[in-house]
Copies of this chain bind each other. A is one copy, B any other.
């Protein structure tokens, strides 16, 4: 997430109550989790084992819970609880704005787009031309939708990322990472009824051009889906997955977070994908394997009684 205008690192330090180490002349241009940082960004780290990754990332300003050596040209903001400081910044720079009406005045809706009754369109949403938004759809603030997009009834775009920090010492142990990313739906996408596509934690959840989603599909935060994919009903894809172009996922497939499904891969119905899959192949089962091999395995299972008979006869 990028700020509307750069903010002095000194102002950030004062706001979150941090000790500023390093370059105090810096201007922060955005706020991002470590997976999404670009130069100018503020990020945070609170586990020693991730210090190096964070300090060496593209982030210019790092909120950190120990006074370590500051890399050349960067700034550290040192305080006890970087996670809470980051959340405080999200709430300041992308505060939740309660709606005053069902279709926000700050939403921009293109020519030829039809919005059916009972639709909610949040603040700062942008929708392109010749779209059709069916009834009871909810589009949270800041979503961006291209041209010729169809969204069927009851679908929800931009609900919060499901992302919590565990605080074993508290009564309520899951502490929410407030998300400030967006949902981006490119041109010519169709989304079925009753789908949920979450916003990214700090970056964007993207559905690529020409991709078609059936009903009741869940897409987690920050997941990026390529162009011309076909996703059947009740598929679930966790956060920060990368589904490349021309992938086909059949019904009720489950896809883990933080993995890549390569271009043109096909995953058959009800399969579970725990880790990355190479493109261009057909997969099946849990864990998903090349379908022809998995079918052979199922055949072997059926032969166990025969093997046992043979063993007994020896």
> In the assembled complex, how far is the CB of residue A251 from the closest CB belonging to chain B, in whole angstroms?
5
Q: Which B residues lie within 8 Å of A159 (CB)?
A: 134, 152-153, 192-193, 215
Q: Which B residues lie within 8 Å of A5 (CB)?
A: none
Interface residues of A in 189-239 (CB under 8 A from B): 190, 192-196, 198, 209-210, 212, 214-216, 218, 220, 228, 230, 232-234, 236, 238
> In the assembled complex, how far is the CB of residue A192 from the closest CB belonging to chain B, in whole angstroms?
6
Known: A171-B210, A256-B269. A193 touches B193 (CB 8 A): no
Docked Cα-Cα span, A120 to B193, in Å, equals 14
A254 within 8 A of B: yes
A303 within 8 A of B: yes
Docked-complex contact A138 and B120, CB < 8 angstroms:
no
> In the assembled complex, how far is the CB of residue A101 from the closest CB belonging to chain B, in whole angstroms?
6
Looking at A59-67, A85-93, A111-119, the stretch in contact with chain B turns out to be: A111-119
Interface residues of A in 152-166 (CB under 8 A from B): 152-156, 159-160, 162, 164
A276 within 8 A of B: no
Interface residues of A in 139-191 (CB under 8 A from B): 140, 150, 152-156, 159-160, 162, 164, 171-174, 176, 187-188, 190
A300 within 8 A of B: yes
**Residue total for A at the interface (Cβ-Cβ under 8 A):** 78
A15 within 8 A of B: no
Q: Which B residues lie within 8 Å of A210 (CB)?
A: 171-174
Docked Cα-Cα span, A215 to B137, in Å, equals 15
Which single residue of chain B is at the shortest CB-CB distance from A198? B215
Docked-complex contact A233 and B212, CB < 8 angstroms:
no
Docked Cα-Cα span, A198 to B172, in Å, equals 24
Q: Which B residues lie within 8 Å of A99 (CB)?
A: 116-117, 135
Docked-complex contact B256 and A162, CB < 8 angstroms:
no
Docked Cα-Cα span, A232 to B301, in Å, equals 30
Which single residue of chain B is at the shortest CB-CB distance from A299? B304
Which single residue of chain B is at the shortest CB-CB distance from A209? B172
Docked Cα-Cα span, A190 to B195, in Å, equals 19
1/0 per position for A296-309, CB-CB distance to B under 8 A?
01001111110110
Known: A135-B99, A162-B233, A254-B252. A190 touches B176 (CB 8 A): yes
7 sample A-B contacts, Cβ–Cβ < 8 Å, listed by A number? A101-B117, A118-B120, A136-B136, A152-B159, A156-B194, A194-B216, A256-B269
Q: Which 3 A-B pairs have the closest CB atoms?
A: A120-B135, A138-B153, A172-B210
Residues of A within 8 A of B (CB): 96, 98-99, 101-102, 114, 116-118, 120, 132, 134-138, 140, 150, 152-156, 159-160, 162, 164, 171-174, 176, 187-188, 190, 192-196, 198, 209-210, 212, 214-216, 218, 220, 228, 230, 232-234, 236, 238, 246, 251-252, 254, 256, 269-270, 272, 274, 286, 297, 300-305, 307-308, 310-311, 314
